[in-house]
Amino acid sequence: MPKIILLIAIIAGLWYWWSYQRQLPDNKRRPFLWKSGFWLVLGSAVYLVVTGRMHWLGAGIAAIVPIARALLIWGGRALPLLRILGRFKSTPSQFRTQSLLVTINFANGQIFGEILDGDFAGRQLSELSADELQTVSEQLKNSDRESYILLQAYLLRSGSGNHQSQDSYQANNYTELSTDEAYEVLGLPSSATTDQVIKAHKRLIQRLHPDRGGSDYLAAKINAAKDKLI
């Protein structure tokens, strides 16, 4: 009697499955059939393991095949999305003067500075004490105006300066950028397209809001980099 009941239940289930899948549109029927096949293989493997007719390792192998196919399908569908997300990945921008190299990641706010010339050459700005930074600032103010203003921008974004301490900066008062430097300012590879240059420029300028440590100097350099490459 139990076997008869089980057989009736199986037949009823198969009839319901057949009726349901026939009502599905073509674009949904194929995924449904693959899912049904997966659960059929998995269920059969579990049954054989429970009844002692198959080793558990065999059941695992049987289940891996449909799972691997599902992962491949998902990966293929996710690849375009991953490519789109990759475009939003922000490469740090580099601002180079005679005496300083400042690297800013506008996405996460991290900033690094290295002294290239003078008594503190080779030192990181983050390693210097307040007195040493003041000494560097005074030296640059008298000998390298552009590096001085870049230092003020660094201090502002790192939280050590303020807007009032910054000198006004004219957009044409800096050394002309080379093509390589322009790509570094925008955080782009030399293979970047015109569209990528425009998008990078727009993104960086938006992140130079005064509340985020905006700087006339950094904005001028970013604008100059775009003009150089377009």
pLDDT digits (tens, 9 = 90+) for 48-61: 656 665 555 555 55
Measured CA to CA, the distance from residue 204 to residue 43 in angstroms comes to 55
Q: Which domains can be identified in the chain, with CATH numbers?
A: 2-87 (no CATH), 93-229 (1.10.287.110)
Q: What is the pTM of this model?
A: 0.55
Lowest mean pLDDT among 54-68, 155-169, 190-204, 214-228: 54-68
Q: Which helix (H) or strand (E) holds 94?
A: strand 93-96
- Tokens 């799972």 -> residue: 67
For the residues 17-24, what does the mean pLDDT come to?
Answer: 71
Instruction: Give 216 or 127, the one with higher predicted confidence.
Output: 127
91 in Cβ contact with 188 (< 8 Å): yes
**pLDDT at residue 102, rounded to an integer:** 93
% of the chain beyond a pLDDT of 70: 61
112 CA to centre of own chain: 19
Instruction: Give 82 or 202, the one with higher predicted confidence.
Output: 202
**pLDDT at residue 209, rounded to an integer:** 63
In DSSP terms, 115 is beta-bridged to 100
CB atoms under 10 Å from CB of 22, counted, come to 8
Q: Is the pLDDT of residue 97 over 70?
A: yes
User: What number of H helices and E strands is found in the chain?
Assistant: 8, 3
**pLDDT at residue 135, rounded to an integer:** 92
